[in-house]
Amino acid sequence: MSDLISVIVPVYNVQAYLEQCLDSIIQQTYTNLDILLVNDGSTDDSLSICERYAQEDSRIRLINLAENTGLSNARNSALANIKGKYVTFIDSDDFVEPEYVNRMYHELTQEDADIVISDYYQFDEQSGSYLIHIFEQTREILSQTDIFNRLFDAKNDTYVVIWGKLFKTSLFSLDYQVSFPKGRVNEDQVVSHLLYIKAKKIVYISDTNYCYRKRASSITGQNLSLKHIQDDLDGFEQRAFELLLYGYSSDKLLSMYSVRFNNYKHYLESNQLVHNDIYNRLKKYTALLQSNPHLS
């Protein structure tokens, strides 16, 4: 008998997209699924849609949170109720192709891996167009150096985001608990590297069976706010510190971080947002970097 795989779907005010997402999950060719829907205090018809699907498919379990507590808490609530040997995350405004779970499960079991990373394609809601950034079919067994280098690649967030992957559930509790930080934007970046550290074997496949929907109204689709920049910097610094403790190269981290905060500094200057603590923080980092005797 095939292994039980948990699918975690946080839900908040996505009535326009939720049915497409849930249809794509229940139509997976891999059928032994434990589908956890977490309604995070939705004020639209998302809850009623979840309830209807739960009545129609016995694999669906619904966790209903009375108030909106954020994406991180919704995911943590699901992790606390997980049943599957493996787990994957799907955002409720995205959708997946029928072979999404099966392809990753095949690779994971064939290689006796702890994590399988699948690539994705993007649907831009505003233009109505699809973006496919991977055309070559590739498959790699990644070393930890490989995965950490790719974590900081500003051109590709495939390795940072928590969705589009299949994990051994035990990674979230092995040695110490891994959970999502509450109230923070870009919460994935303080979680994914900890799971990679715990993994003994990671497989990457270029399959684009996950569709990420870019919405103008979504958190990531909006213009950058000061909170977004602050959360991203905080998350980057936490990830960098933890990887330093693990022994990752400080030179590489410093180089990648300097690109990050210089881009934010330029963005704030271009938008005349220079009278705030975030900009002063970035000015400080620039001055420290310029005076670093090891880089002169």
Distance (Å, whole) CA 11 – CA 69: 11
Least confident of 63-67, 181-185, 267-271: 181-185
Q: Within this chain, do residues 239 and 124 fall inside the same structural domain, yes or no?
A: no
Lowest mean pLDDT among 88-92, 115-119, 204-208, 283-287: 283-287
Question: Is the domain of 127 the same as that of 177?
Answer: yes
Is residue 73 in a domain? yes
Looking at residue 124, which CATH number applies to its domain? 3.90.550.10
Instruction: Residue 248: name the closest of 156, 150, 161 by CA.
Output: 150
Query: What H or E segment, with its residue span, contains residue 206?
Result: strand 202-214
Residues 29 and 161 in one domain: yes
Domain presence at residue 80: yes
Tens digits of residue pLDDT in 94-149: 999 999 999 999 999 999 999 999 999 998 888 888 887 777 788 999 988 889 88
Q: What is the pLDDT of residue 220?
A: 47
28's CB contacts (< 8 A; 6+ apart) are 96, 98, 99, 100, 101, 102
> Please, are residues 186 and 233 in contact by the beta-carbon 8 Å criterion?
no
Q: What is the number of other CB atoms lying within 10 angstroms of the CB of residue 184? A: 21
Q: 124 Cβ partners below 8 Å, 6+ apart?
A: 130, 131, 214
221 lies in a domain?
A: no
Domain shared by 267 and 192, yes or no:
no
- 245 is in which domain, residue-wise? 226-290
In a domain, 247, yes or no: yes
Residues 282 and 188 in one domain: no
Proportion of the chain above pLDDT 90, given as a percent? 66
Whether residues 149 and 281 share a domain: the answer is: no
In a domain, 110, yes or no: yes
Q: Do both 104 and 234 map to the same domain?
A: no
**Is there a contact between 47 and 17 (Cβ–Cβ < 8 Å)?**
no
Statement to judge: residues 188 and 231 lie in one domain: no
CB 159 within 8 A of CB 192: yes
Claim to verify: residue 46 and residue 70 sit in the same structural domain: yes
Rounded to the nearest 10 degrees, the angle between the axes of helix 226-246 and helix 250-270 is 170
Question: CA 64, CA 66: separation in Å to the nearest integer?
Answer: 6
Strand partners, 205: 118, 139
**Which among 180, 214, 248 is the end of a domain?**
214
Q: Looking at the structure, tell me whether residues 193 and 285 fall in a common domain.
A: no
Tell me the pLDDT tens digit for each residue of 158-209: 999 999 999 999 999 999 999 999 888 778 889 999 999 999 999 999 999 9
Domain boundary among 214, 234, 251: 214
Domains in the chain, number: 2
CB-hemisphere CA count at 13 Å for 7?
30
Helix, strand and coil percent figures for the chain, each rounded to 5: 40, 20, 40
Same domain? For 117 and 155 the reply is yes
pLDDT at residue 24, as a whole number: 98
Rounded to an integer, what distance in angstroms lies between the CA atom of residue 166 and that of residue 123?
A: 22
Specify if 109 maps to a domain: yes
Evaluate whether residue 190 is within a structural domain.
Answer: yes
User: Which SS3 state, helix, strand or coil, does residue 69 take?
Assistant: coil
- Is 220 within a domain? no
Task: Give the dihedral of Cα atoms 236, 240, 243, 245; nearest 10 deg.
Answer: -130
Q: What is the per-residue burial (b if ≥16 Cβ within 10 Å, else e) of 27-63?
A: ebebeebbbbbbbbbbeeebbebbeebbeeeebbebb
- Is residue 97 located within the same domain as residue 238? no
